[in-house]
Amino acid sequence: MAISLEQWVAKICDGDRRAMAQAISAVERREPCSADLLKTLFHKGGKAYVVGITGAPGAGKSTLLEKVAAEYRQRGKRVGIIAIDPTSPFSGGAILGDRIRMQALSTDEGTYIRSMATRGQLGGLAPAARDVALIMDAAGYDVIFVETVGVGQDEVDVARLADVTVVLLVPGMGDDVQAFKAGVMEIADLFVINKADQSGVERVERELNALLSVTPQPDGWQPPVVRTTATTGEGIISLCEALEEFRAATEQSPAGLKRRKENTRLQLLELLRQSLFEKVAQEQFDHERIGEYVEEILARRRDPHSIVEEIMRASGVGTDRG
Ligand SMILES: Nc1nc2c(ncn2[C@@H]2O[C@H](COP(=O)(O)OP(=O)(O)OP(=O)(O)O)[C@@H](O)[C@H]2O)c(=O)[nH]1
Ligand SMILES: [Mg+2]
For atom 9 of ligand 1, the residue with the nearest CA is: 60
What pLDDT shows up at residue 94? 47
DSSP for residue 190? E
Q: Of all atoms in ligand 1, which is nearest to the CA of residue 65?
A: 15
**Average of per-residue pLDDT across 282-299:** 86
Please count the other Cβ atoms lying within 10 Å of the Cβ belonging to residue 142.
Answer: 17
Query: 109 near 14, Cβ under 8 Å?
Result: no
Per-residue pLDDT reduced to its tens digit, 192-230: 999 999 999 999 999 889 888 888 777 778 899 999 999
Q: Which ligand has the shortest distance to the CA of 81?
A: 2
For 46-251, which CATH class? alpha beta
The pLDDT-based confidence of 178 (bands split at 50, 70, 90) is low
Instruction: State yes or no: pLDDT of 132 exceeds 70.
Output: yes
Strands (DSSP E) along 118-223, which ranges? 143-149, 164-169, 190-193
Q: Residue 81 C-alpha to ligand 2 middle, in angstroms?
A: 11
Q: In the chain, where are the structural domains located?
A: 1-44, 46-251, 267-315
Q: Residue 118 C-alpha to ligand 2 middle, in angstroms?
A: 13
For atom 1 of ligand 1, the residue with the nearest CA is: 195
Q: Residue 56 C-alpha to ligand 2 middle, in angstroms?
A: 10
The residue among 112, 139, 134 whose CA lies nearest residue 11 is: 139
Q: Round the CA-based radius of gyration of the chain to a whole number and report it.
A: 22
Q: Residue 58 C-alpha to ligand 2 middle, in angstroms?
A: 7
Q: Of all atoms in ligand 1, which is nearest to the CA of residue 98?
A: 23
The pLDDT-based confidence of 136 (bands split at 50, 70, 90) is very high
